[in-house]
Structure 1
Amino acid sequence: MQHKRQLNLLTALPAEAKPLIKCFALQRHQPVGAIPLYTTQGIHLAVSGPGLKSIKPAISYLQAMTPKGSQPVWINLGICGHGSLATGELLLADQVTTPDGLHWKLESPAGSITNHGQLNCVASPQAVYQPQMAYDMESSGFLASLRPTTPLDRVHILKVVSDNPENGIETINAKRVNKLITDQISQIREFIERVAEDG
């Protein structure tokens, strides 16, 4: 699939990446490195591993693989907890905060993703959910690693709700994460293609 702009995708978990790999017919990049990388023309997908410490090396690797002179669109795709939305709902982050006061505002492209909202990046999975608040463990590291060199209008964070007050973190496993992403893959693909064209 031909894109006007290079797309760099980042997931934390292999189960989050697998539906994307299938959807875009991505191929494992060889030689195999410590950070799994899947590619096709115009798209690079890295699987970082969970948590903040895993994000910066994955982004550095993607940056090294990005063609010189290109201005890629960056998308962090994964799961999140949410205090109000049902499991399986898509959320496009319009701001990211951390418990210690860091804050980023993001642009929300017009389109089919109806849920926009705040994402609170935390150090460990949440068992207590605030209304209208989403929770993940990678977004602040994603933004902090990119911010010095990448304008935030080329950075997007798209999450699928995996847990909430009715369905806690104990319900999450790789099979369920794969299904949650797969069930939304049409909308995810539409979003990815739109931001690549708008790039």
Structure 2
Amino acid sequence: MGVFVTAAKPQPKALNRAFLLIQDFEHADYPEDSHWTLITSKEAPSDVPPATVLPIPDISDNNAFTLSSMAEINTFIRQNEDLMTKMGVLVERPGLLSIRRGSRRRRALSANRSTSSRSAGRAEFRACRLPYEEASSMIVNLDMANMDFEDFVDEDAGEQEDGSWMWMSFPPSTKDTEEESEGEAKREVALKELRDGGYAD
């Protein structure tokens, strides 16, 4: 899955933390099963690049997508459809993640191709701003086509000024427990290792 960072001069520690939090710790083994690839160049590689390994170095001076809009990222994807399809960015219900502000705000932008807004064969994206930890679940469920974009957003709030939609969490579980899940525990261990190494905040 492709990851685009549009923040201006993202701090490496904040970026590493964000990149870790989007990983699937509930249903996959990290880092072996990571499918996230950071894309920083508009020169598309000849083949599918491997998943990005943490820690990520400072990308401030070599990130071609700094301050890019969703429309600009969409254009890049459409110009490289074959490769993006192989990377899993373009599937029946694709997921695209753009970390706009590598900061403590803990918010990412997850986008789904809209099948109702095609123009001249080009599909646009609708975006949902959501917590990093929720990004993997949303994208996987959209990819599996067992849930729709509307299931994750606050339709009453409508589209926001920046073109994104507000994420809406699911009702709390009826199970009366506050115990940390196995996935959450694994995430905290991995995050601690990054912090102890000085790679995350």
Q: Which has the larger radius of gyration?
A: 2
Q: TM-score, normalised by structure 1?
A: 0.26
Q: TM-score, normalised by structure 2?
A: 0.26
Which structure: greater strand fraction? Answer: 1
